[in-house]
Structure 1
Amino acid sequence: MQTIEAIQTRRAVKHFDASQRFSDEQINELFSLAMLSPTAFNIQNWRFVNISDPELRKQIRAAAWDQSQVTDASLFIVICADLKSWEKHPERYWANADHAVQDFILPLIDQYYRGKDQVQRDEAMRSSGIAAQTLMLAAKTMGYDSCPMDGFDFEQVAQLINLPEDHVIALCLAIGKSIQAANPRGGQLDSDEVIINNRFV
């Protein structure tokens, strides 16, 4: 499947074949592709919690208003971000760059994030959203469906996965084989409303 077709046909589905399972190779491929997602300053702040424990899935389902995709999808991922990745040995992110590049960009990373909690959180959400879309399009290209989710109790899920204090949950993502076609698109806004030329009037 071509990328454009994957974008056009990707839909959020709610009903998955609970008997379908991914091979380790497929799981590794999906996460490898997700890890190619861009991040500012290459800080790679996304973290993907692959929920494979059936009992934990049931607990998360209870915290997600009993939505069946939590337990029935082949993969259920809690997409998080490390808010402090920018200061955790940032030289790792530029280990393959020339020393001149490292000397320039490492202090810049510190200046950009230090003492700016909102910037750190905004960056976490941007990175996580891009990674989620990468996963959804990769899954669609491989013939699978997905459902991005924010319909859950974030605090409860954070406790269930033992989320570190300096991390944040952005969303959850269910991936698998749909057993029910998605509903027709609810309605698309006119392009004149969402595409602005140069500036708002």
Structure 2
Amino acid sequence: MQVKEAIHARRAIKHFDADHKLTDAEEKELLETTIQAPTSFNIQHWRFVILRDSDLRTKIRKEYGNDQAQMTDASLLVLFTADMKAWQKSPERYWVNAPQEVADLLVGWMGPFHEGREWLQRDEAQRSIGMAMQTLMLAAQGMGYQSCPMIGFDIEAVAKLVNLPDDHVMGPMVAIGKGTKDAWPKPGQLALDEVVIENGFGG
């Protein structure tokens, strides 16, 4: 499937074949493709919590997830989180394959860019989550699977369930699997002239 085709075909699917399982090779392919998503300074903030335990998934669905069937029925359920302090944690490892002068330059910039700017650290973590989520969903589409991004759950309760570290931020979940029911027809996209601004907003 071509990239543009996958973009246009991707929809938020709510009904999945609960009996379908991804193979280990398919799951690895999906995740290895997902980590090709870009991040600022190549920090790779994302931490993907694979919600595999069926009892845990049922608990999230029934108690904290508004009884969304895709939470239990999808072949793969990924909770996206990110480490806001990843820029402090052995940052040289993010540039291990770069020429030494490039690695030294970029690693040297990381501290001054992030230090004391907690709002930026959080924003960067969430931006990284967003790009990785879209990469995962398009990769799944290209492999013949469907997906559903979800934020309709009790974020604080689920954070406790997965023992989210204090320096991590919660993002949405993405369900991946074999869809059994088509999404509603596309509701419509805004016209380009409403969303594209040339050079700046009018005064």
TM-score of Structure 1 vs Structure 2, range by shorter chain:
over 0.9
Q: Report deviation, 1:190.
A: 1.3
AA aligned to 1:156 is A
**TM-score normalized with structure 2 length:** 0.97
Partner of 2:32: 32
Partner of 2:162: 161
Q: Where does 1:39-118 land on structure 2 (aligned, <5 Å)?
A: 39-61=39-61, 62-118=63-119
**TM-score normalized with structure 1 length:** 0.98
Structure 2: distance between partners of 1:16 and 1:103: 47
Q: Deviations over 1:7-57 (max 9, x none)?
A: 011000111110110000000000000111110000010111111100010
AA aligned to 1:182 is A
Structure 2: distance between partners of 1:105 and 1:7: 32
Q: Report deviation, 1:187.
A: 2.2
Q: Say whether residues 1:151 and 2:187 are aligned partners.
A: no
Aligned residues: 201
Alignment RMSD: 0.8
Q: Report deviation, 1:105.
A: 1.5
Partner of 1:195: 196
Please list every run of 5 or more consecutive structure 2 residues that lacks an aligned counterpart in the other structure. none
AA aligned to 2:81 is C
Q: Report deviation, 1:121.
A: 0.6
Structure 2: distance between partners of 1:100 and 1:170: 34
Q: Deviations over 1:136-168 (max 9, x none)?
A: 000000000000011111001101111111101
Partner of 1:174: 175
Partner of 1:22: 22
Secondary structure of 2:156 counterpart? helix
Q: Report deviation, 1:188.
A: 1.5
Q: Report deviation, 1:99.
A: 2.2
Please list every run of 5 or more consecutive structure 1 residues that lacks an aligned counterpart in the other structure. none
Q: Report deviation, 1:95.
A: 1.4
Q: Report deviation, 1:189.
A: 1.0
Partner of 1:10: 10
Partner of 1:139: 140
Structure 1 stretches of 4+ moved >2 Å: none
What is the percent sequence identity of the aligned residues?
A: 52
